C-alpha cells in the first residue's frame, strides 16, 4: 500500500515525519509470516476454501502461483478471490505444515488478519457465496487500520501543536 499524507499550508504545521509513527499494535507476539495468520485445517472456513474441480479446470494450464506460508504475504487486492486474478496465489500447505492435495484460497478471516483488522471484526459466513465475494473485494480494497490510526494520531499531534502555539500567542 502507498500512503500519501499532506497538510494545508495555511495551518503552519511542520512536515509530516514518517519516522514518528508508532505502530502500537505491533509487538513481539504479532504475526510475522503468513503461517502465523492461518486458521487450523479443521476450520469450516479452511475446509470450504479449497478450489472446486471447476475452478481447478479454469486455471490456465493447471498452473498457479503459491503463497509461501513461511514468508511475508503478497499484497491483497480486490480481485484476490478470482481464480484467474493476476495477483491471486493459493496455499498448498496448512498451518501445521501438512500439505494439501488441492490449492485453497485464504479464508476471509485470514485476509482480515493480513490487513491488520482485529479478531472482533465480523466476517461473512462461508455459506453465502455472494457476500463472501463482496467481502473479498472490500477487504482487498481496504487500508490497514493500524497504519491509518497511527497516521491519524500523528496528524492530530501536528495540528494540535499549531493550535497550542496559536493560543499562547493570543
Residue 29: the pLDDT is: 60
pLDDT tens for each residue of 124-165: 776 656 677 888 889 988 998 888 988 998 898 888 865 555
Q: Which domains does the chain have, with CATH numbers?
A: 9-169 (3.90.120.10)
Residue 160: the pLDDT is: 81
Residue 27: the pLDDT is: 54
Residue 92: the pLDDT is: 96
* N residues, the chain: 170
Strand ranges (DSSP E) for 61-149?
Answer: 65-66, 89-93, 99-104
Q: Which residues contact 72 (CB under 8 A, 6 or more apart)?
A: 32, 33, 34
pLDDT at 168 over 70: no
pLDDT tens for each residue of 41-55: 999 999 989 998 998
Q: Which residues contact 155 (CB under 8 A, 6 or more apart)?
A: 5, 7, 16
Q: Is the pTM of this model over 0.85?
A: no
pLDDT class of 13 with cuts at 50, 70, 90 = confident
Residue 16: the pLDDT is: 86
Spatial distance between the Cα atoms of 161 and 69, rounded to a whole number of angstroms? 44
pLDDT class of 109 with cuts at 50, 70, 90 = very high
pLDDT class of 28 with cuts at 50, 70, 90 = low
pLDDT tens for each residue of 45-88: 999 899 989 989 988 877 889 999 999 988 888 888 888 777 78
- Which neighbouring-strand residues pair with 99? 93
Q: Where are the alpha helices (DSSP H) in the chain?
A: 34-37, 44-47, 53-57, 108-114, 129-141, 145-169
Query: 20 or 52: whose pLDDT is higher?
Result: 52
Amino acid at each position: 500500500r502507498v500512503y500519501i499524507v499532506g497538510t494545508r499550508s495555511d495551518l503552519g504545521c511542520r512536515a509530516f515525519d514518517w519516522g514518528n509513527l508508532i505502530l502500537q499494535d505491533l509487538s513481539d507476539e504479532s504475526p510475522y509470516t503468513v503461517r502465523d495468520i492461518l486458521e487450523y485445517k479443521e476450520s469450516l472456513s479452511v475446509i470450504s476454501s479449497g478450489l472446486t474441480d471447476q475452478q481447478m479446470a479454469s486455471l490456465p494450464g493447471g498452473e498457479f502461483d503459491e503463497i509461501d506460508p513461511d514468508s511475508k504475504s503478497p499484497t491483497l487486492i480486490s480481485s484476490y478471490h478470482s481464480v484467474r486474478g493476476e495477483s491471486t496465489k493459493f496455499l498448498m500447505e496448512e498451518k501445521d505444515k501438512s500439505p494439501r492435495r488441492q490449492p485453497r484460497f485464504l479464508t476471509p478471516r485470514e485476509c482480515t488478519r493480513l490487513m491488520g483488522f482485529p479478531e472482533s471484526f465480523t466476517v461473512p459466513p462461508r455459506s453465502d457465496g455472494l457476500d463472501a465475494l463482496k467481502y473479498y473485494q472490500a477487504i482487498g480494497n481496504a487500508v490497514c487500520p493500524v497504519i491509518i490510526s497511527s497516521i491519524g494520531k500523528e496528524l492530530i499531534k501536528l495540528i494540535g501543536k499549531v493550535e497550542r502555539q496559536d493560543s499562547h500567542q493570543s
